[in-house]
Amino acid sequence: MAGSEVRYELAELRTYYLHSQVNSFSVRFASFGGELYRENFLELGFGFPLGEQFSAGFNIAGLNSWVRDVSNEFAYAIKVGGQFESAPLVVGVWVNNVNVPRVSSIDYTPVSYSLRLDYLARGNLDFCFSVLGVETELPFYKFGVIFIPHEITLLSLGINTKPITIEYGLKVTFGSMYVFYSGNRHQQLGLTHNVGLGFAR
C-alpha cells in the first residue's frame, strides 16, 4: 500500500508512506514535513497467536528528526500490543514508545496508548469505540461505524473528541487492487486528506 496525507491542506504538513504485510510480518516507511523540517520513520512488526482467541505483536521503529542547518537526530521506538476475539466482539490494546525514545537532549517521544472495541453487528457492519491517550494526560475517544454495502465498497464515518473532528473514509476494490480516501475536518484548521493505492492477495 502506498499513500499520501496532507494535513489541513498545507503542503508543508504532507506525509508520504509505504506499507507492506506478508502473513504476520509487516514493514512501514513514512516521511513527514517539508524543506525546513522532516521526520522519517521505518518500522518492522511481527505478530503471533496466543491460543485460539488471543494474539500479540510488537514493532520496532527507527526514527529520524531533521532540521535544515540545525540538527539530524536518530532514535528508536518499541510498540507492543494484543488482541482478543470472541464473536461478535474484538478487543485490541497497544502501548507505543515503551522505551520513551529521545530525539534530542531535551525532546522525547511520549508513551501513548489505545484500547479499541469492535462490535461486529453483522458481516458487513462494524461499530467501533476507542480510548486513546498520551502519558498522564486525560484520554480522548473515537466513535465510528464501518459499513460494507457491497463487496467492492467500504464506507466509514466517525467522531474524534480531541480535537473534535468528523472523520470519514471510502475504499473501493477492483480485483486484487484497491483505492482509498479518508479525511477529517477540524473546526478551525480545515480539512485533512489521505489518499492511496494498494494491492492485496
| CATH value at residue 59 | 2.40.160.10
12: three-class secondary structure by DSSP: helix
Identify whether 180 is part of a domain.
Answer: no
Listed as own residue / partner, the contacts of 177-181 with beta carbons closer than 8 Å and 24 or more positions apart are 180/3
Identify whether 197 is part of a domain.
Answer: no
How many separate domains does the chain show? 1
Identify whether 27 is part of a domain.
Answer: yes
Core vs surface per residue 137-161: b (16+ CB within 10 A) or e? eeeeebebebebeeeeebebebebe
Identify whether 182 is part of a domain.
Answer: no
Identify whether 66 is part of a domain.
Answer: yes
SS (H, E, C) 27-85: EEEEEEECCCEEEEEEEEEEEEECCCCEEEEEEEEEEEEEECCCEEEEEEEEEEEEEEE
Residue 15 CB partners (closer than 8 Å, separation 6+):
4, 5, 6, 7, 30, 31, 32
Strands (DSSP E) contained in 97-186 are 112-122, 125-134, 140-150, 153-161, 164-174, 177-186
**Residue pLDDT tens, the chain, 201 long:** 999 999 999 988 999 999 999 999 999 999 999 888 999 999 999 999 998 899 999 999 999 999 998 889 999 999 999 999 999 999 999 999 999 998 777 788 899 999 999 999 988 999 999 999 998 889 999 999 999 999 899 999 999 998 889 999 999 999 999 999 999 998 888 999 999 999 998
Q: Which domain holds residue 34?
A: 2-146
Q: Please report the pLDDT score of residue 123 as a whole number.
A: 83
Identify whether 189 is part of a domain.
Answer: no
Q: Please report the pLDDT score of residue 193 as a whole number.
A: 95
Q: Please report the pLDDT score of residue 24 as a whole number.
A: 92
